[in-house]
Amino acid sequence: MGAAIGLAQISPWLRVGGLLATLVIAGTSCDQAEARSPKKGPPKRVIHGPNYHPPYADIVVDDKSGRVLHQVDADEPRHPASLAKIMTLYLLFEQLDGGKLKLDTPLRISTRAALQHPTKLGLKASQTITVEDAIEGLVTRSANDAAVVVAEAIGGSEEEFARLMTLKAKALGMTSTTYVNASGLPAEEQITTARDQAILGRAIQHRFPGYYRYFATPSFRYRGDEIHNHNSLLGQVKGVDGIKTGYTEASGYNLVSSVRRNERHIVAVVLGGTSNATRDTRMRQLIEEHISQASMQRTAPVVAETKGEENIEEGAAYFRAVAPAARNAEAPMGDTSDAMLARAQADPVPIPRPRIRAKGRSLKTSKPAATSKAPANRVQRLTANTASKVSTSKALRVDPSRGSSASTSRRF
């Protein structure tokens, strides 16, 4: 009898303990290729410990002159996470621009697409989604299921589509970028750099100004649900008109931003933030520090793809992206800070040169070659860099009052 009474008294506490354990597990989980967020914005909860320090990189490019106004480890390999969807959308906009697809074209949803991990729209196999809904799902919720639907519609398979993504990257001059999938879900060989993402952020606007406006979508309604954009800088920072966020555990919190203000236009990239908040704070800082240094007149041609010249080896294409920038520009009087010195010595975006391919070799390569050619060394560098970052987790943080040297990597 006593034992029965004891169990009756203890069981409610056991139930409460079990509930608390479940909540803790749920609270510490997160989606890959984009941090899960509630319908009204990014999560406010902390899902990482104080020792979470993914490898950081950033860059700010003046779109009208092509000058780099600021950079930190801009050419170091990083995982793109959902920034991969910018290229997915680039190829989709290309299909729309060429008349091969229309906004109301229904796209078939495969079982593979429906089974993608969150973040997702919850698409059902054997049904369809229109091109426009897929675009808005990619832009706002960063939907992985929609990314696979688009990939299969254009490439026939996600693997073939990833090969096309990589080829397009090389044609745009993104020589350090390799895509493995359309969503940005974790893949060791899927790498990019801050500089390459700045090139893509500029190129997609230059070639598809009409379709680019989808990146400014604050929210859209799908099947009765109001889906809000993960990019919290939209509507909060003057002049921000897009473009994309991204997150995986390995990449950290990424963001590409485009800002137009007072006839100036910059594209900024932050890779490896430790949270949504720190990433957004750093992006705000970069915008406010460097927007005034941008040109009001275009002196550089727009970013354009190379065509398939027979003498250009795959993976070594160049691009007509920027005009040479004047080095050692004179700094305004009275500003002698480290940040001003870095701005005064802003570097131009380098223009990769074409390599002559061996005679008789075809421009097209096999699928494995397109996705695995040369990433191994970069991945090793990424792994080594990550280990180094972790071992120096107490490194200096960026001081907003001092700015950041273009050649020195600092935490924020």
Q: Which domains does the chain have, with CATH numbers?
A: 48-333+344-391 (3.40.710.10)
Q: Dmax of the chain from CA atoms?
A: 92
Q: So what's the pLDDT on residue 32?
A: 60
Q: What is the pTM of this model?
A: 0.70
Number of Cβ atoms within 10 Å of the Cβ of 299? 15
Query: CA dihedral in degrees (42, 44, 47, 51; nearest 10)?
Result: 110
Strands 225-228 and 252-261, bridge-based pairing: unpaired
Q: So what's the pLDDT on residue 57?
A: 98
Q: Alpha-carbon distance 377 to 395, whole Å?
A: 26
Q: What's the one-letter identity of residue 32? A: Q
- State the burial class of residue 59 (Cβ atoms within 10 Å of its Cβ: 0-12, 13-18, 19+): buried
Contact between 182 and 89 (Cβ < 8 Å): no
Alpha carbon 360 to its chain centroid, in Å, reads 37
Q: What's the one-letter identity of residue 391? A: S
Contact between 203 and 172 (Cβ < 8 Å): yes
Token readout for 338 is 């480290």
Q: So what's the pLDDT on residue 298?
A: 97
Residues sharing a CB contact under 8 Å with residue 11, sequence separation 6 or more, in sequence order:
none
Q: Alpha-carbon distance 115 to 148, whole Å?
A: 10
Q: Alpha-carbon distance 282 to 32, whole Å?
A: 22
Residue by residue, pLDDT tens for the chain (412 residues) are 444 444 444 445 445 455 444 444 443 334 466 644 444 444 444 578 889 999 999 999 999 999 999 999 999 999 999 999 999 999 999 999 999 999 999 999 999 999 999 999 999 999 999 999 999 999 999 999 999 999 999 999 999 999 999 999 999 999 999 999 999 999 999 999 999 999 999 999 999 999 999 999 999 999 999 999 999 999 999 999 999 999 999 999 999 999 999 999 999 999 999 999 999 999 999 999 999 999 999 999 999 998 754 333 333 333 333 333 333 333 333 333 333 333 333 333 333 333 333 333 333 333 333 333 334 444 444 444 444 443 433 333 333 333 333 333 333 3
User: Which residue do the tokens 């990314």 mark?
Assistant: 147
Q: So what's the pLDDT on residue 375?
A: 43
Q: So what's the pLDDT on residue 50?
A: 85
DSSP per-residue codes, 284-344 = HHHHHHHGGGS-SS--SPPP-PPP--TTS-TT-------PPPPSSPPPPTT--SHHHHHHH
Number of Cβ atoms within 10 Å of the Cβ of 24? 10
Token readout for 247 is 């997150």
Strands 106-108 and 225-228, bridge-based pairing: unpaired
As a whole number of Å, the end-to-end CA separation of the chain is: 62
Q: So what's the pLDDT on residue 15?
A: 53
Q: So what's the pLDDT on residue 336?
A: 33
Q: So what's the pLDDT on residue 117?
A: 92
Token readout for 201 is 């952020």
Total H helices, total E strands in the chain: 12, 9
Q: Alpha-carbon distance 120 to 145, whole Å?
A: 5
Q: Alpha-carbon distance 259 to 65, whole Å?
A: 15
Dihedral sign for Cα atoms in the order 276, 277, 281, 284: positive
Strands 252-261 and 240-248, bridge-based pairing: antiparallel
Token readout for 325 is 């920038």
Reported in sequence order, the residue ranges of 200-263 that DSSP labels E, i.e. its strands, are 219-222, 225-228, 240-248, 252-261
What is the tens place of the pLDDT at every residue in 50-105? 899 999 999 999 999 999 999 999 999 999 999 999 999 999 999 999 999 999 99
Dihedral sign for Cα atoms in the order 194, 196, 200, 202: positive
Q: Alpha-carbon distance 77 to 389, whole Å?
A: 14
